[in-house]
Amino acid sequence: MDIPEKTTKWTYFQVVFATVIWGGAYPFTKHLVTEISPVTIVTIRALIGALLLIPLTGSGLKASDFKFNNIRKIFFMSVLGVSAQQYAQAYALSYTSANHAGWLIASTPILVAAAMAMLGERIGVPRIIAFLLGFIGTLLVIFSKAKTGSGAIALPATKADLIFVGTCVAWAGYVVMTKKWLTFWKQTKVTTVTMLVAAASMLPIWLLSGKAGEIAAITPKGWLCLGYLSFLSSALAYLFWNKSVERIGPVRSSYFIYIEPFATLLSAYILLSEPVAPVAFAGGVLIMLGVYLVNIERGHGVGKLLARMCGNA
């Protein structure tokens, strides 16, 4: 069935909007960690995101959804996909550039494909080349001299980049879990419940840690960053992305992932005046080429799986 042209334009706007917003999340996070702790950032993002997603997605939550077996799975997924993920990224952004974050996160599709290959999915030549390109590109980004200009290994920036790679691995695990667990739920429902459980688990940690008082010290620019991350990145972008996947399909939606690191690059330059290191840029291009090769073998489901769960900012 053909999709009406007006609907298609709105759908493409939604998918581009989501990708650009996620790409811009890293510069906003990098500024915000100069004002408040990662614990506060993660808690408020998850809380506002969950409260908005529940009515916006029409997920139809009911008491029977929160059975022990479901909660156990959702809790583990929420740690990998939301709380620990966002905490680690916010911490790492205290020491590395937003540009590095954007390029490294772009390697996630390659890691998802690698995880699926480890679970027995066939590996074709394009994916083997993609793994190699992604590996080389990641090394170039991590060991580029953009941040300090003082040697290939520049701690703590290199350590922070490695943490970002770790969050990519964690997200790949989360994506694989969505294929194995809760397959009887719509993706919008999985996203909403995961965000809700993350908020419920982070709220007592935030209150007991004494970090709640940080809110009083947030500057207007900090509130702008927090609003961006909470309302746009953690709620509206997820809503738009899921709707676009439902409308134009997961494979077609996955092609828009290429926009994300370039959105990071542009927003980091505007918000933080971050320079672009040629070596890091070259590494990012290799990563994106690897992502393209991974998507070539979309018949085996990696492109579809990736598109359903690509947002990790």
pLDDT tens-digit readout, 50-78? 999 888 877 677 777 777 777 888 888 88
Which residues have C-beta within 8 Å of that of residue 213, sequence separation ≥ 6?
Answer: none
User: According to the model, what pLDDT value does residue 96 have?
Assistant: 82
User: According to the model, what pLDDT value does residue 146 have?
Assistant: 46
Contact 105, 313 (CB under 8 A): yes
User: According to the model, what pLDDT value does residue 100 have?
Assistant: 79
Q: Which of 85, 76, 91, 73 is nearest to 29 (CA)?
A: 91
Could you report the per-residue pLDDT of 149-181, keeping only the tens digit for each? Answer: 444 445 456 788 888 888 877 877 776 777 677
Helix, strand, coil fractions of the chain, as percent rounded to 5:
80, 0, 20
User: According to the model, what pLDDT value does residue 294 have?
Assistant: 63
- Token pair, residue 82, equals 């939301």
Position 206 pLDDT exceeds 90? yes
Cα torsion through 73, 74, 77, 82, rounded to 10: -160
Least confident of 17-31, 171-185, 198-212, 261-275: 171-185
User: According to the model, what pLDDT value does residue 147 have?
Assistant: 44
User: According to the model, what pLDDT value does residue 166 have?
Assistant: 84
Contact 311, 89 (CB under 8 A): no
Could you report the per-residue pLDDT of 219-258, keeping only the tens digit for each? Answer: 999 999 999 999 999 889 888 887 877 777 666 666 677 7
Position 298 pLDDT exceeds 90? no
CA 181 to chain centroid, in Å, comes to 20
Q: What is the pTM of this model?
A: 0.78
Position 300 pLDDT exceeds 50? no
Distances, alpha carbon 179 to alpha carbons 21, 25, 72, 231, 313, in Å: 25, 26, 16, 27, 20
User: Which one is predicted more confidently, 204 or 128?
Assistant: 204
Least confident of 26-40, 65-79, 95-109, 294-308: 294-308
